[in-house]
Chains A and B, each alone.
Chain A
Amino acid sequence: QQQVKQSPQSLIVQKGGISIINCAYENTAFDYFPWYQQFPGKGPALLIAIRPDVSEKKEGRFTISFNKSAKQFSLHIMDSQPGDSATYFCAAASWGNNRLAFGKGNQVVVIP
């Protein structure tokens, strides 16, 4: 059972454009929602994370939007660059239970 579902599966964006990746979750006990970035042959790197007490969090060009009632959250990459080309994973966990449930990942390709 996939507890966290991502869409779209892959995304092609022009340089300078906005990349948007969506995630939906089912378990209402989840209260920690990170996004990870993974390059080929590397481990996932924590990009940005949000808790449900806020609806949006921004760090540089990366923004998480969170909709608690819809049980959805999304990652926005502003001014996308070729160096952002990677696989992005959303995940979720409950406070005090550090078992991260990952989505299947989205491959983002930024073309010059």
Chain B
Amino acid sequence: NAGVMQNPRHLVRRRGQEARLRCSPMKGHSHVYWYRQLPEEGLKFMVYLQKENIIDESGMPKERFSAEFPKEGPSILRIQQVVRGDSAAYFCASSPLPRDSNEQFFGPGTRLTVL
């Protein structure tokens, strides 16, 4: 049973470009979460999605950031017009139905570097 998969593992963008981060949840998991980790910091919640639905986006910056989890395919975290402050590790996690378990399983992360 493959774990949570994220790609790319490393992404380099110049200021003003767009970054697209992809996440495939564990088999059987229908809930996806995105977290951001700055150097020497803990993970900060960004957004919680299930298929075709955003459940909680209270941690998402108001501008330039968006997320989706379509009926088919991976979840996408999109950052438009990246700035140097967006450089961080972005982790995706997945879980079974929240009413059954709080457990979240994390992917290896995408390390975004903005030049």
Contact = CB atoms under 8 A, between A and B. Distances in A.
Interface of A: 4, 32, 34, 36, 41-46, 49, 89, 93, 95-105
Interface residues of B, number: 28
B91 interface: yes
B102 interface: yes
Q: Top 8 closest A-B pairs, CB basis?
A: A102-B42, A43-B106, A32-B102, A102-B43, A104-B42, A43-B108, A99-B45, A44-B106
Nearest to B111: A41
Contact of B95 (A41, A49, A98, A105): A98
Contact of B45 (A32, A96, A101, A104): A101
Contacts, number: 63
B107 interface: yes
A100 B105 CA distance: 12
A49 B43 contact: no
Interface of B: 4, 6, 31, 33, 35, 40-45, 48, 56, 58-59, 91, 93, 95, 98-99, 102-109
Contacts of A44: 43, 91, 106
A24 to B, nearest CB: 14
A41 to B, nearest CB: 8
